[in-house]
Chains A and B, each alone.
Chain A
Amino acid sequence: MEQKTKVNAETGKQELEITREFNLPLELLFKAYKEKEIIEQWMGTKVLKLESKKHGSYQIETTDPKGNVAFRANGVIHEFIQNQKITRTFEMENTPFGVQLEVYEFQKLTDDTSRLRMRVIYESVEQRDQVLKLPFAAGINFAHNRIEEIMNKIK
């Protein structure tokens, strides 16, 4: 089966590329990145602030079941072109991972399908590899369970 989400991280480079094709019209895909309430639903985080415009900024936060802040990240939006492109920075607060530059390109494929190309540039090769090696396993299982729940509700 062809993988829907592709990650291209060439050895020795400080960037990576993630691409994905969606069974969604371009406008809906873009909306998922533009509106606070929607981001909260699919990212599973709280959006403390989001100004979806050029020179805007954002801050997101995840808490554990006890309500302690587990993760907080923020960034500034450098470019915001409706249904086309978002350029922004991303920084995990209180971590040694530095700032990353993210370029999102949204593309219409057909009336009902669209493609997202996301390029991430890190401060160094070492930082990129460190981020790739973060322990994601726990988070993945969590997300999978949630997806199953949602899918079961739809049936």
Chain B
Amino acid sequence: MNLRRDPFQAIADPTRRAILLLVASQSLTAGAIAANFDSARPTISKHLQILTECELLQQEQNGREMHYHFNPKKMKEIADFIEPFRLMWEARFNKLESVMKKFKTKK
């Protein structure tokens, strides 16, 4: 598996999370994004490539310029992945509660 295409891997990096926050409010060119960071331009380009590969960012040609857009749909997929885990615990705890309530009345 190519780890770079894993969106979870992609958002584990603090610089990439900062890029997502920037682009979430408006689409920007690579140059405009890089201007917000101290890192070297090729480093930022690499981050943009990873974010694009895992579809958290989308590219759009705008005249001569390439703009980067935020992809909220993909981001929601990531937010949703915790929900099944939460529901599993919710179900377990509900069960715990009902078992112990019966225990209480038995006493």
A113-155 vs B: 1/0 string, CB under 8 Å? 0001000000001100100111011011001101100110010
A143 is contacted by which of B81, B85, B88 (Cβ under 8 Å)?
B88
Min CB distance B60 to A, Å, is 26
Min CB distance B22 to A, Å, is 16
Q: Does A101 contact B (CB under 8 A)?
A: no
Interface size class of B (residues with CB under 8 A): 20 to 34
Q: Does B104 contact A (CB under 8 A)?
A: yes
| Chain B residues positioned under 8 Å from A18 (CB to CB) | 86, 89
| Chain B residues positioned under 8 Å from A32 (CB to CB) | 96, 99-100
B90-107 vs A: 1/0 string, CB under 8 Å? 111111111111111000
A150 to B8, CA, bound (A): 38
Q: Does B40 contact A (CB under 8 A)?
A: no
User: Which residues 1-24 in B have Cβ within 8 Å of A in the complex?
Assistant: 8-9, 11-14, 17
Which residue in chain A gives the minimum CB-CB distance to B91? A143
| Chain A residues positioned under 8 Å from B93 (CB to CB) | 4-5, 20, 22, 116
Q: Does A28 contact B (CB under 8 A)?
A: yes
Q: CB distance A29 to B88 under 8 Å?
A: no
User: Which residues 94-122 in A have Cβ within 8 Å of B in the complex?
Assistant: 116
Which residue in chain B gives the minimum CB-CB distance to A9? B82
Asked whether A140 and B11 contact (CB < 8 A) given A4-B93, A24-B100, A38-B100, the answer is no
Which residues of A are at the interface with B, using a C-beta cutoff of 8 A?
Answer: 3-7, 9, 11-12, 18, 20, 22-25, 28-29, 31-32, 38, 41-44, 116, 125-126, 129, 132-134, 136-137, 139-140, 143-144, 146-147, 150-151, 154
Which residues of B are at the interface with A, using a C-beta cutoff of 8 A?
Answer: 8-9, 11-14, 17, 81-82, 84-104
